[in-house]
Amino acid sequence: MTLFNEFKLGNTPLSNRVVMAPMTRSRAPEEIATEQIALHYTQRGTAGLILSEGTPISREGQGYLFNPGIYTPEQIKGWKLVTDSVHSVGGRMFAQIWHVGRVSHTSIQIDGKAPVSATTKQAQGAVAFGYGEDGEPGFVPTSVPRPL
């Protein structure tokens, strides 16, 4: 058995054992997967399995700007475009669903609220990709969260 042999992961047949790891790309300004995102994943469709970038399951779960979520009908349609395109070249893809908890920033949250978390302790030394004081996107210290 080699890296390039077919493999069955549960009920999912894979063309090989190459797995593309998830990578946060922040390339969706409207938080919806686009044709450009579909192209990115499709170009890698010969990997045995592709894991998507972190895909927020709710607006409150967002920790980085410009990530395509999967919690609105428009976002689901965007990811369907991506997966259909990957499948068209024989690829397989799993979604990395994501809720970052306290590793977020008020500039990303609805109405500037504190991020929701299981704790009220700020994540020390962690950063989020949000809006800085100058209004520009960039890495910012995480905000103090509010409890669930």
Element (H, E) at 86: helix 73-88
Predicted confidence at residue 147, as pLDDT, reads: 94
Predicted confidence at residue 1, as pLDDT, reads: 83
Q: Please tell me whether the overall predicted TM-score, pTM, comes out greater than 0.75 for this model.
A: yes
Find all residues with CB under 8 Å of 111, minimum gap 6, and list them.
none
Quickly count helices (H) and strands (E) in the chain. Answer: 2, 9
Residue 126 — pLDDT band, cuts 50, 70, 90?
very high
pLDDT above 90 (res 57): yes
Q: Which residue shows structure tokens 């669903």?
A: 97
Residue 127 — pLDDT band, cuts 50, 70, 90?
very high
Is the separation of the CB atoms in 108 and 60 below 8 Å?
no
Find all residues with CB under 8 Å of 143, minimum gap 6, and list them.
104, 105, 106, 109, 114, 115, 122, 128
Predicted confidence at residue 33, as pLDDT, reads: 98
pLDDT above 90 (res 148): no
Predicted confidence at residue 15, as pLDDT, reads: 96
Predicted confidence at residue 25, as pLDDT, reads: 93
What pLDDT digit, counting tens, does each position of 6-35 carry? 999 999 999 999 999 999 999 999 999 999
Angle, CA 108 vertex, CA 145 and CA 135 arms, to 5°? 120
Is the separation of the CB atoms in 147 and 120 below 8 Å?
yes
Q: Which residue shows structure tokens 């499948």?
A: 87
